[in-house]
Structures are given as structure tokens and as C-alpha cells.
Amino acid sequence: MTTPISDMHEGHTIRGRYDTQPTVSLPPGERILRGPASWQAAAALAESRATADSRTTAGGTGTAAPATVRATAESRNGHSVILVDTYPGVDVPALNAQIAVALPDWTIVDVESAARPTGEVEQLIAPNLTDDRVFGVMSHFVLSDFYDEGRLDDLARTITAKSIVVGWGAALLRDRLGGDPVTVLVDMARWEIQLRQRAGATNWRADNAGEDNLRKYKRGFFVEWRVADRHKRSFFDVLDFVVDGNAIAPAEPHPDSPDAGMITGDAFRTALKDAASRPFRVVPFFDPGVWGGQWMKNLIGLDPSKDNYAWCFDCVPEENSLLLEGDGGVVEIPALDLVFSRPVELLGAKTFSRFGAEFPIRFDFLDTMDGGNLSLQVHPLTDYIQNTFGMHYTQDESYYMLDAADDAVVYLGTKEGVDREQMLRDLATAQDGEHPFPAEKYVNSYPARKHDHFAIPAGTVHCSGANSMVLEISATPFIFTFKLWDWGRVGLDGIPRPVHLDHGARNIQWDRDTAWVDDNLVGQVETIRTDGDVIEESTGLHELEFIEVRRHWFTEAADHDTDGTVNVLNLVEGDEVRVVSPTGAFVPFTVHYAETFIVPAAVGAYRIERTEHSRSARFATVKAYVRGSRTSDN
């Protein structure tokens, strides 16, 4: 390091202004229920519905209802029922204990007693898990595949008194019970699930507490979370309450942490509708790594006791969460809930048509300041990721240099005339520990300066070197990294990080040599327009990638329009700006240096301007959107 981190960006941003806990507002006056009062509110609603059900049943259930539903409805005439569906990863015993305190005269029923035997489920999902530590095959199961239909029917018939059915799959009983049972979702973000797994938590109904964390994550990524997301989406419209499952026995408890919050289903739906009409941020998370650096720790003000921070997921809605703020604090929900519930308003019609309810753009940080090189790697081609892993699209990437020391480099593409067979042999012998891989012999090394932007289409050998702060602007898939060489290191768990030479060799595009990289991936900035003090530039990406990135330099303000497609932005220069609507359609939204924010497609016109607190002379944002997805694109 040649320059103090605090001096490495124009405007000398005040340390710690980066907001690690951004919030999205609940409807005005909406209360967050906590403790016994939350479950008692659910019980009161269930009691009132039971009374209404008894009046309806007295008049007859009607001949149109299935016989099982009619019989079940008649058998529970006058009785109240609450269905508490839990996302896999929720600490169900801890949840049950809280419910028992709040509702001591209610019977807690375990819906998972009707699940298929663990061995059957293991056999069913085995082809999707594969033998690999990291990679599986995307699954298309639905939750009913994991349950015995007959046992679910039997379980529904036993519910004849005040009962609260708990577990992943409780909502499977809605149709069997008939009527309108109170339905509660206890939701969780994937980051909290990962933290619990690292601490020894198992996958759903699995005996794998001591299993490799990569394998636990693989089971979630390729099977459990896909099934769980399909399942919960099916009853979003009828939810009565949502509970913050992240706060029930959290992996990292805090003495000031309140009880898990509960909000009404109406508040949940309204908050997501409102979020899709204004700029917002997801909750970032930070994680150490073997190559991690010190930039984020020092500038953002993270826990100084940690050795380093390697990653920050600052806009990966598949992994991040939203904090819904109201009277009584906050409730944390997965950011995916917004994608699932309001895909057209958030993504735009064309992006939704292409990707479905999936957020296709990823912004994250890679911090190697005073750290080490990332692994030398390559990502799969689209055809390969589809045929091998069942993914719709691949992991095209780019490195935007948010900061860089004088010696920072990016490894990108192979050198002219390399012997590909010899390179693969040298990679194999290096992996066997015989000698280090001579990366400089085979791979180009480019000096990296602040605000440089390197495009990295799938199939291109690459990695960031040490002493860089990378803003990765990429397609959403993020685990499909084929490590070719990890510089002889082991992971933080003491186990060598997985290298996938076979997969990598099948995807390296050998024609992406020095000349090709120079012409296509490096130094591709083009000025689009100049308007007063505003300069708009295209910084990429390559034509093989579906993301377009625009950089706007300005001193006072820059006007934007989503033009019908979602925009993802980061303030890469300057200390503080404000996002405003020219028509007052949303409350002004403040953004600090290095913060990533999302502007939903539905927003339309917006302006980014300096604030009364801004001290910087100049500002810059980078904005990403899906090419061809704007309303004006023909």
C-alpha cells in the first residue's frame, strides 16, 4: 500500500458513512408485534375465523368440495387452526418453545411427521447433489414430493381442537382443512442459514451436522431453497402473518436483539408493493476469505477483530435480505420475496419475460487490499452450465476497480501462442503439489487503476491480483467458479479449496489471447454524451454479455430514466448524493460512497444530485441494466 485507504478516493469520504443496515418502510403506523403478543394476535384471528366457519358449516359445506375436505371441515367445526410454515433453516424447536409460552392451551402439531422417510428423500435428491463438493444439478421438485399424501390426509383429519401446525410444509394442509385457516410464514434469508450451517446446523431432516459446509450449501442451493421458494410463493397472496425467522435463535445473537418480529400479511404485501416503486438497498453482508483485504474493514468500519474481509454481497437479492422498518423496529425478510411478489414492477416487462422472477444483475465487492490474489479461474459457457448444472444462463462477469494500489493487476486471458496442453499439464502438477503454477508464463497481467473496467465473459481465464478493491458487476449466478490454481493455499477451514480442472479445461476459450483481450475486454470506455457538467460513458460489457454499464460523471446532478427496466447503481466517486423524483413520486433517497442501490423499472425518471452535506467536487455512478430490455429498445 502506498496511499492510506482513507485518501484513495476523491472527497475523502467520512469513515463509516456506508450504511450496513438500510431499511425499507412498512406502511405508516404499521406495528411490529413481538413476544407472546404476536402469537396471541394470530390466535385471536384464528378464533374469529373458526366462529365464522362454524356458521358456514352449519349451513352445509356444499357438494362441490372434495369429500376429504368436507369431512375435515365438519370434524373441526368451531375449532381454530393456525398453519405456521417455516423456511428450511428455521430453528423449529426454539419456535415451538416460543409458541408454547404464548399459547399454552393450544396443541402444537408437527407437519413434518407426515414427511417421507429421510432415506427416501435422500435417494430422491441424490442425482441432483452429485459427488462433487460444490456443484450439483438444479432441481425441479415441489415440496409435496417430500411428503406422503396419505399421511397428510390423516394428519388433517386429526386436527379437531385448537391446533397450531408447525414446520416446512404446514401450508400443504390449507386445501385439506378447507375454510380459511390462519397462515403464517416464518421466513429466513440465505445468509443467516449459511451462518447456522457453519455453526453446526443441519439441512432439512438431515443428519449432517458435521458435514463439509460446502456440501450443506450445495444441498440448499440446488434443492432445498429452490423447493422452498416455489412453495412459499404459492401462498403469498393468502398470508396472514410473516415472522422474522432470522431472529429466532440467530447464529450470532446480540444482547440487544429483540424477539422475532411479526407483521401482518397485508403489511408485508403493501411494503413490497411500495418498495417496487422507489429506490432501495438490500442488506449487505461481509465474509472473510484466504485472500481477503483491509479496505472494507477500514473504510466501512467493520468489526476490527476480524483478520480480513474478502467479500461483500451488496446487491445479490438471491442471498441478501430486506429490513422492513415500522413501529417497533425492523423485520428481516429475504430480498427474493420482493422479486417473487412484484417481478414486473421491479424488473420491467422485458427483463421479466427473459429471466422470469429472477434478479439477473449482481453487484458485489472483492477486497484484496493488503490481501492476496483471487484464485486463477474460469466460468462455464452458457451451453455448458445449462447441460451440466441445469442453470438458465451463465456467470459472465466484470471487474470495476473501485480502488487500486500502485501495484494492482488483473490477470485476464491467455498469452499469445501458449501451449494449451502444457498449460493444463502444469496446472495439474501444481494441483498435485509438485511445483507452483507459473501464471505469468501463461496468463496476461494488466495494470489496474482506479475506475478501470475489465470485461470477463464466461470462458475467459482471469483473476484479480492483490491490493485491489473490485466492484464486481456481473450476471447473477455466482457459485460457478472453476478454480484452476489457488496459489497453493488452503481455505480458512484448513481444507484445500476445491479446484475443478476438468470443468475448467472444457470451458477455457484459448482464442482469448493478448490481442483479443486488448481489443475486446480492456479499455473499452466510450463517451456517449456530454451535457453541461454531465459526462455519460459506456464502460462495457462485452457483446457476449447481456449487461450494459453506463458511468455518469457530474458535479451537481445527472438525470436518469429506467426506461422500463431495472437499474442497479453504485456511487463510485464522491461522498454523498440524493436520488429524487422530478414529480415527487417517492421520498428522496440518500446514497453514500460505495453503496449499491436498486431503482425499480416502475420508477421511470429520476435524478441523482449532490446534497447539502456533500463535500466532494465531483461524483460518479456506474449503472447496470439488461441490454435490449428498455422500452425504447426495438
Max CA distance (Å), the chain: 84
* Nearest-angstrom CA–CA distance, 71 and 147: 21
Which CATH code, of 3.40.50, 1.10.287, 1.25.40, 3.30.70, is assigned to 34-58+68-260? 3.40.50
Sign (positive/negative) of CA torsion 110, 323, 623, 478? Answer: negative
Grid coordinates standing for 136? 450439483
Q: Are 468 and 369 in contact (CB under 8 A)?
A: yes
The residue among 399, 567, 552 whose CA lies nearest residue 471 is: 399
How would you label 578-613 residue by residue, b for 16+ Cβ within 10 Å and e otherwise? bbbbeeeebeebebbbbbbbbbbbbbbebbbbbeee
Task: Give the CA distances from residue 461 to residues 91, 365, 412, 512, 574, in Å, rounded to whole numbers and listed in that order.
Answer: 42, 19, 6, 9, 33
Q: For residue 250, what are the contacts with CB-CB under 8 A and spacing of at least 6?
A: 192, 195, 257
Confidence of residue 397 (pLDDT cuts 50, 70, 90): very high
To the nearest 10 degrees (0 to 180), the angle between helices 149-158 and 67-75 is 30
Closest CA to 609 of 576, 584, 634: 576
- Edge-first strand listing for the sheet containing 81-86: 107-110, 163-167, 81-86, 182-187, 241-244, 262-264
Beta bridge partners of 378: 482
**Identity of residue 229:** D
Beta-bridged to residue 156, according to DSSP, are none
Residue 317 scores a pLDDT above 90: yes
Average pLDDT over residues 613-619: 97
Residues 284 and 596: their CA atoms lie apart, in Å, by 9
pLDDT at 255: 65
Provide the 8-state DSSP code for 282: P
* Residue labelled with grid coordinates 470462458: 459
Residues 374-392: pLDDT tens digits?
A: 999 999 999 999 999 999 9
Residue 263 is inside which H or E element, if any?
A: strand 262-264
Nearest-5° angle of CA 124, CA 130, CA 131?
130
C-alpha span between 177 and 155 (Å, rounded): 10
What are the beta bridge partners of residue 592? 576
pLDDT higher than 60, residue 270: yes
- Cell numbers for 607, please give them: 435524478
pLDDT value, residue 11: 37
Q: CB-side exposure of 397: number of CA atoms within 13 Å?
A: 28
pLDDT, average across residues 137-163: 96
In the block, which residue shows the cell 424477539?
259
Of 265, 235, 120, nearest in space to 172 by CA: 235
Helix 36-58 to helix 92-102 angle (10° resolution) is 70
pLDDT tens digits for range 16-60? 489 999 999 999 999 999 999 999 999 999 999 988 766 655 554
3-state secondary structure of 126: helix
Distance CA 329, CA 189 (A): 18
Report pLDDT digits (tens) over 114-140.
999 999 999 999 999 999 999 999 999
Pairing of strands 182-187, 241-244: parallel
Q: Residues 332-341: pLDDT tens digits? A: 999 999 999 9
- % the chain with pLDDT above 70: 93
In which band, very low, low, confident or very high, does the pLDDT at 259 lie, cut at 50, 70 and 90? Answer: confident
Task: Quick: pLDDT tens for 498-548.
Answer: 999 999 999 999 999 999 999 999 999 999 999 999 999 999 899 999 999
What percent of the chain is predicted at pLDDT more than 90?
88
pLDDT class of 77 with cuts at 50, 70, 90: low
| Alpha-carbon span 384 to 326, nearest angstrom | 46
Query: Which residues, 6+ apart, have CB-to-CB distance to 262 below 8 Å?
Result: 32, 33, 34, 38, 39, 41, 42, 184, 241, 242, 243, 244, 331
What is the rounded CA–CA span in Å between residue 486 and residue 463? Answer: 10
Residues in a beta bridge with 455: 398
Q: Is the predicted pLDDT of residue 81 greater than 90, yes or no?
A: yes
CATH for 526-626 (2.60.120.10, 2.40.50.110, 2.60.320.10, 3.10.20.310): 2.60.120.10
* Residue 9: predicted pLDDT: 38
Q: What is the mean pLDDT of residues 400-405?
A: 98
Domain coordinates of the chain in residue numbers?
Answer: 34-58+68-260, 526-626
* Cβ atoms within 10 Å, residue 434: 9
- The pLDDT tens digits of the residues spanning 434-493 come to 899 999 999 999 999 999 999 999 999 999 999 999 999 999 998 999 999 999 998 888
What pLDDT digit, counting tens, does each position of 407-424 carry? 999 999 999 999 999 999
Please give the pLDDT value at position 43: 98
Distance between CA 402 and CA 295 in Å, rounded? Answer: 11
